[in-house]
Amino acid sequence: MQFLDHISLKNYNTFGVKVKARYFVSISAYEEIEDVVKNFDPGENRHFILGGGSNLLFTRDFNGWILHSNIKGYHVVEETDDEVLIKAGSGENWSDFVDFTVQKGWGGLENLSLIPGTVGAAPVQNIGAYGVEQKDAFESLEACNLISGQRCYFNKLECDFDYRSSIFKGGEAGKWLILNVTYRLKKKPDLHLDYAPLQKYFEKTPPEKITVRAVSEAVKAIRRAKLPDPEKLGNAGSFFKNPIIREERFHHLQQRFPDIPFYRLPNGWIKIPAGWLIEQTGWKGKRKGDAGVYERQALVIVNYGKATGPEILNLAKAIQKDVLKKFDIQLEPEVLIL
Ligand code: EPU
């Protein structure tokens, strides 16, 4: 276990904002958590469980405990002719883990290639991209309760996954440190190619050449073309969620804005791309000081260098205000604001 105080979190958040944490505890094995649980009362000592810091915005110094998993390793727990169950430590890098499964030719996570963050954070916000969410291949996870020290397994149902959410973001937020996550992958994969840019990418490819590896390569190429690399330009992916509204409300909007793109969801709900709404307000490619709206994807807010958390938040609020005024839609942040 590593215990530090007054440390800079600049390298622990992909926005690259400069803030400090009062205490920082990095845990490499379950056994080390006992010490943390003994000394620590979540009621008194404000705490936050930090993964890869790729989906949050710090707006001030964190005057509490940052708990960080550094639990590593992957291993196959079960294997048949058709399937593999693979367990990965929560501190593993997500993208490296996906690359490992893709290299083996195991299907299920290829559409989620190159997403920044850790394995432990993936189920917390049920990461998703290109028509797939991690819940689709999720089998179970093991977590430790930070108050009792009790170790527990959660299956898919118990995690209550939804669009960018789970119980670990809702009612159980901050109570559990995820130790490892198990995914069920397929040796004869069902590839998900519905997303329009993927279809376009494979337009001229013969079907037998569209493999797990090919899909992963395609996803990486599409991501690199649209999304900034946090190593080069600070960002946390999509800053807002895509709003979901009732069909009746959508029809009114469509009358005013006939070009509005949309995706139909079950039970009369409609999802609208927030990137389009933001682009229509004229924010795409604009900046306020060092905080800006990415020029190739309006849903991504970037830090051109020295933007502070409050500056990024002010830009986000200005965008929300303009979208509300023009479309009467309140955009909700996807990133966690601390
Ligand atoms: N669009 C615009 N202008 C823009 C950006 C988007 O008009 O500047 C419209 C276009 O109609 C485009 C549509 O929005 O076809 C969708 O854009 P895109 O395919 O880039 O996806 P998104 O809805 O903006 C979501 C996820 C991404 C994920 C992609 C691909 C959310 C909040 N974001 O973005 O996830 O990679 O789909 O599946 O659901 C993330 O969560 O951080 C993230 C990057």
Which atom of ligand 1 lies nearest, measured to the CA of 298?
Answer: 8
DSSP string, 23-91: EEEEE-SHHHHHHHHHH--TTTS-EEEESSS-SEE--S-EEEEEEEE----EEEEEE-SSEEEEEEETT
Distances (CA, A) of 178 to 88, 90, 160, 234: 11, 6, 15, 26
Q: What is the CA(308)–ligand 1 centre distance, in A?
A: 25
Residue 273 Cβ < 6 Å to ligand 1: yes
User: Can you tell me which residue has the tokens 């959660």?
Assistant: 154
**Catalytic annotation on 287?**
no
Please write down the HEC assignment for all residues of 282-322: CCCCCEECCEEECCCCCCEEEECCCCCHHHHHHHHHHHHHH
Give the integer Cα–Cα distance in Å for 45 and 32.
18
Q: What is the CA(122)–ligand 1 centre distance, in A?
A: 18
Q: For residue 11, what pLDDT is reported?
A: 94
* Radius of gyration for the alpha carbons in the chain, expressed in angstroms and rounded: 20
Model confidence pLDDT, tens digit, residues 156-173: 999 999 999 999 998 888
- Do the Cβ atoms of 268 and 246 come closer than 8 Å? yes
Cβ density class 182-213: b for 16+ within 10 Å, e for less: bbbbbeeeebbbebeebeebbeeeeeeebebb
Neighbour-count burial of 231, counting CB atoms closer than 10 A to its CB (0-12 exposed, 13-18 middle, 19+ buried): exposed
Indicate the top mutation candidate among 299, 319, 326 to test ligand 1's pocket, ranked by most ligand atoms within 8 A of CB.
299
- Do the Cβ atoms of 245 and 331 come closer than 8 Å? no
* Centroid of chain to Cα 269: 23
Give the integer Cα–Cα distance in Å for 109 and 117.
14
Q: Which residues contact 194 (CB under 8 A, 6 or more apart)?
A: 131
**Closest protein CA for atom 20 of ligand 1:** 297
Go through the domains of the chain in sequence order and give each one's CATH number. 3-69 (3.30.43.10), 74-226 (3.30.465.10), 234-337 (3.90.78.10)
Q: For residue 286, what pLDDT is reported?
A: 98
Cβ density class 87-116: b for 16+ within 10 Å, e for less: bbbbbbebbebbbebbeeebbbbbbbbbbb
Q: For residue 171, what pLDDT is reported?
A: 85
Q: For residue 216, what pLDDT is reported?
A: 98
Which atom of ligand 1 lies nearest, measured to the CA of 55?
Answer: 42
Give the integer Cα–Cα distance in Å for 207 and 189.
13
Q: For residue 293, what pLDDT is reported?
A: 98
Q: Tens place of pLDDT for every residue, the chain, 338 residues?
A: 788 889 999 999 999 999 999 999 999 998 888 888 777 666 666 889 999 999 999 999 999 999 999 999 999 999 999 999 999 999 999 999 999 999 999 999 999 999 999 999 999 999 999 999 999 999 999 999 988 889 999 999 999 999 999 999 988 888 999 999 999 999 999 999 999 999 999 999 999 999 999 999 999 999 999 999 999 999 999 999 999 999 999 999 999 999 999 999 989 999 999 999 999 999 999 999 999 999 999 999 999 999 999 999 999 999 999 999 999 999 999 999 99
Q: What is the CA(297)–ligand 1 centre distance, in A?
A: 7
Q: Please give the model's pTM, rounded to 2 decimal places.
A: 0.95
Q: Identify which of 279, 248, 274, 280 has the alpha carbon closest to the alpha carbon of residue 262.
A: 274
Active-site position among 69, 140, 216, 238: 238
**Under DSSP, is residue 179 helix (H, G, I), strand (E, B) or coil?**
strand
Q: Identify which of 45, 33, 43, 44 has the alpha carbon closest to the alpha carbon of residue 3.
A: 33
